[in-house]
Amino acid sequence: MKAAVLYQAGQPLVIEDVELDPPKAGEVHIKIGAAGICRSDLHVIKGEANHLMPAVLGHEGSGTVLDVGPGVTRVKPGDRVILSFVPYCGHCHFCLTNRANLCDRHQATPGTLLDGTTRLHKGTQRIHHYGKVACFAQEAVVPETGCIPVAPDFPLPQAALIGCCVTTGVGAAIYNARITPGSTVAVVGCGGVGLNVVQGARLQNAGKIIAVDISEGKLEFAMRFGATHSVNPTVQDPVAAVKELTGGLGADYTFEVFGSGETVQTAFNAARKGGTVVVVGLAPAGEYASIDPIALVRQEKTLKGSYYGSARPVTDMPVMVQLYQSGKIDIDGLITRTYRLEDINQAYKDIDGSDVGRGVITQF
Ligand code: COD
Ligand code: ZN
């Protein structure tokens, strides 16, 4: 089958034939239907995030079950599924305490399936699976716990986006921050994930939602997704602008949704006394944010991370499906460009385009 393989950071992805072994116990063989172009893969492509190579990237995916390995009970051939990039073991401390997004076994097996081996290879060379999804390919083998069934007619691109940007962004707003009605919110970075933080804040009935982004196009998107104000840091100081829009206080909740030390500082400094700062982005390895410890204590700010929207994929992704189907969140409006798998390098070149909400690969 065809896959986009990353051999070395800084190099383009290579579209080529690779071998995919059949699913083992507890695993599922998937025909990929859609794969989103998320910045997290780009962090790996650029070498800003470390990963075992060679690797098939792609962690925002959906598809149809082709066949299942021994013991699989949750899905059967023909089922349509959202793929979760944090499948879980069900036995570790975090799974047992309702935080499966932090599963120990998942984190201890980067680049492989949960048993520590790969199904992808090219002859004797093994190829790693990014996020246990590896959906920049025609097919994938994934753990059963990474499959969330949807109705047979649920659209595959929308299902893929629920697999990452929707759940990560909306979840950060509703499960992690638990934004309260009428409060003020600032979202630093309004790409695919940040726009979902914006609509998550709208869903929580936030009073003011301030979008902060260096791209005018993304700011326009944010206004369509529920932002009430926009701030461009290339034109004005973002911290001063957020303070001015919040009566000099700073925002009740701020979100960092780009992944850099500088934007973490912006989010921290733009929060009011007693405010909550939620960091969603992963800054490049080795980069640090400088936080004033005095401000942290004397201003009683809360600084917290959020991974996968602090959601429990198996129970919370169906919630996202419901929110979409009842018109409470917009996913259609995010999908601005579709691509063929062979055009994936172009799709990553387009990611910063002002008219791009989310690119999606729909032809494999
Ligand atoms: N100030 C404000 N906005 C900025 C700045 C800045 N200095 N620099 C860039 N931006 C904007 C860009 O213009 C863009 O609109 C936005 O930030 C980023 O959007 P995208 O679409 O490129 O990125 P996303 O939304 O696909 O991904 C954002 C993440 C933060 C999720 C990603 O970058 C990341 O850090 N991922 C690692 C965390 C993780 O693993 N999450 C789970 C899988 S996604
Ligand atoms: Zn992602």
Q: What is the pLDDT of residues 176-212, one digit of tens each?
A: 999 999 999 999 999 999 999 999 999 999 999 999 9
Q: What is the CATH number of domain 2-154+331-363?
A: 3.90.180.10
Model pLDDT for residues 333-346, shown as the tens digit of each residue: 999 999 999 999 99
Taking residues 125-148, what's their average pLDDT?
Answer: 98
**Is there an atom of ligand 1 within 6 Å of 282 CB?**
yes
Atom nearest to 40 CA in ligand 1: 36
Q: Report percent pLDDT > 70 for the chain.
A: 100
Identify the pLDDT of residue 335. Answer: 95
Model pLDDT for residues 8-37, shown as the tens digit of each residue: 999 999 999 999 999 999 999 999 999 999
**Is there an atom of ligand 1 within 6 Å of 189 CB?**
yes
Distances (CA, A) of 281 to 42, 190, 261, 358: 13, 11, 10, 17
Considering the chain, what is the average pLDDT of its residues? 97
Catalytic residue among 89, 92, 103, 164: 164
pLDDT band (50, 70, 90) for residue 285? confident
pLDDT band (50, 70, 90) for residue 356? confident
Check if 62 is active-site: no
Q: Is the pTM of this model over 0.85?
A: yes
Identify the pLDDT of residue 352. Answer: 82
β-strands 208-212, 271-279 pairing: unpaired
* Nearest of 198, 143, 145 to residue 168 by alpha carbon: 198
State how far Cα 142 lies from the chain centre.
18
Identify the pLDDT of residue 143. Answer: 98
Residue range(s) of every CATH 3.40.50.720 domain in the chain = 169-307
Residue range(s) of every CATH 3.90.180.10 domain in the chain = 2-154+331-363
**Is there an atom of ligand 1 within 6 Å of 281 CB?**
yes
Q: What is the CATH number of domain 169-307?
A: 3.40.50.720
